[in-house]
Amino acid sequence: MTASMDMIGGELLAWYDRHARDLPWRALPGKPAPDPYRVWLSEVMLQQTTVAAVKPYFAKFTQRWPTIADLAAAPEEEIMAAWAGLGYYSRARNLVKCARVVGEAGAFPETEAGLRELPGLGVYTAAAVAAIAFGRRAVVVDANVERVVSRLFAIDEPLPGARKAIREKADAITPDARAGDFAQAMMDLGSGVCSSRNPVCSLCPLNAHCEARKTGEPERFPVKAQKKPKPNRTGTAFWIECAGHVWLETRQGNGMLAGMRALPDDGWTARSDGTGQPPVDADWQAAGAVRHTFTHAHLELSVKIGQVDAAPADREGQWWPLGELGEAGLPTLYAKAAQLALAGR
């Protein structure tokens, strides 16, 4: 690396001042820092999710719950329903827990260490909120930053082992001033220029310093270990209908889709197939199957339709009007299953 670490930070910030993305949760360079609530909410939503997918959810949440106090006071089932379709539902459960802790305290902690104490805030999210919302120097490393740094320094150790070296290098180039702008500049650079495929090196403000570019194969970095194949699981969802209503249940525990409204099912998990056994006696009719991919497994969910005269015994749930099913906040998997059942009735 021929240039100093300070030069890298300065050149990147100069590029960011001209090319920063205008995003609803962000303050543009030179403007006052954004509300910590908006920074935190966006960072939670953006975990493993694209900006395009997050924008409408962010707008919906901030319109419905403009402040952290509003979110903290909201019923959990309403927040979970509003999150439906965004995926990775453990984020929503932690969102509720964190909102209530911050609501009780009256404000977000302003330090990285204090933020780490909040439910659901790991190393990355705490650093991002500390830097962007509070101007603290923090080393912010997400997937985009990971890619930029691994290429800048041609770190050829495979992930996840390379993360220690990547973090050390990211720390070395993070300036003391404008740490929030620097973090967002790295994110923008990784998202729009130093992309995972076909990086546009000619437009990169750091191309003169990039060791991976000198190799002629920048897209080779970061080096990734071979992924293990995901297992295939099977399960069954049951459409239980009575007098223009369908029976919905709230998934319990801390597992897949916990806390979300859903059709009753046969107990499938990411680690095991379902039993295929229905929760009530009925003349069950097959409606087909839907397929969905989770982080840890592929699932084929068969859908069966049955008419009943009363609520299932010994099960907690509620009858939901068919005409209002779109307001139930079903996660994507069960929304697809419901669509299939409605078409097959």
* Residue among 166, 216, 211 nearest 1 (CA): 211
* Rounded Cα gap, residues 166 and 148, in angstroms: 9
| Beta carbons within 8 Å of 59's beta carbon, 6+ residues apart | 24
Torsion of CA 8, 10, 15, 21, to 10 degrees: 100
Cβ-contact 288, 336 below 8 angstroms: no
* Rounded Cα gap, residues 54 and 165, in angstroms: 30
Query: Which helix (DSSP H) or strand (DSSP E) does residue 245 occupy?
Result: strand 245-250
Confidence category of residue 139, pLDDT binned at 50, 70, 90: very high
Residue type, 224: K
* Residue among 58, 57, 52 nearest 38 (CA): 58
* Rounded Cα gap, residues 51 and 311, in angstroms: 41
**Averaged pLDDT score across all residues of the chain:** 94
| 314 secondary structure, DSSP code | T
Confidence category of residue 4, pLDDT binned at 50, 70, 90: low
Give me the residues paired with residue 188 across strands: none
Q: What is the average per-residue pLDDT within 236-248?
A: 96
Confidence category of residue 245, pLDDT binned at 50, 70, 90: very high
Give yes or no for residue 29 having a pLDDT over 50: yes
User: pLDDT per residue over 205-236, tens digit each?
Assistant: 999 999 999 999 999 999 998 888 999 999 99
Q: Which domains, from first to last, does the chain contain?
A: 5-220 (1.10.340.30), 232-344 (3.90.79.10)
Cβ-contact 226, 46 below 8 angstroms: no
* Rounded Cα gap, residues 345 and 337, in angstroms: 12
Give yes or no for residue 303 having a pLDDT over 60: yes
* Residue among 290, 276, 150 nearest 213 (CA): 150
Query: Which helix (DSSP H) or strand (DSSP E) does residue 289 occupy?
Result: strand 285-293
Query: What is residue 264's predicted lDDT score, i.e. its pLDDT?
Result: 96
| Beta carbons within 8 Å of 127's beta carbon, 6+ residues apart | 112, 138, 139, 140, 141, 183
Q: What is the average per-residue pLDDT within 133-160?
A: 96
Confidence category of residue 1, pLDDT binned at 50, 70, 90: very low
Residue type, 286: A
b/e per residue, 155-186, with b = 16+ CB within 10 A? beeeeeebeeebbebbeebbbeebbbbbbbbb
Catalytic residue (one of 43, 146, 241, 249) = 43
Query: What is residue 72's predicted lDDT score, i.e. its pLDDT?
Result: 97
Give yes or no for residue 345 having a pLDDT over 80: no
Query: What is residue 254's predicted lDDT score, i.e. its pLDDT?
Result: 76
Higher pLDDT, 21 or 30: 21
* Rounded Cα gap, residues 303 and 343, in angstroms: 11
User: pLDDT per residue over 250-275, tens digit each?
Assistant: 998 777 898 899 999 999 998 999 99
* Rounded Cα gap, residues 292 and 336, in angstroms: 9
241 labelled catalytic: no
Give yes or no for residue 322 having a pLDDT over 80: yes
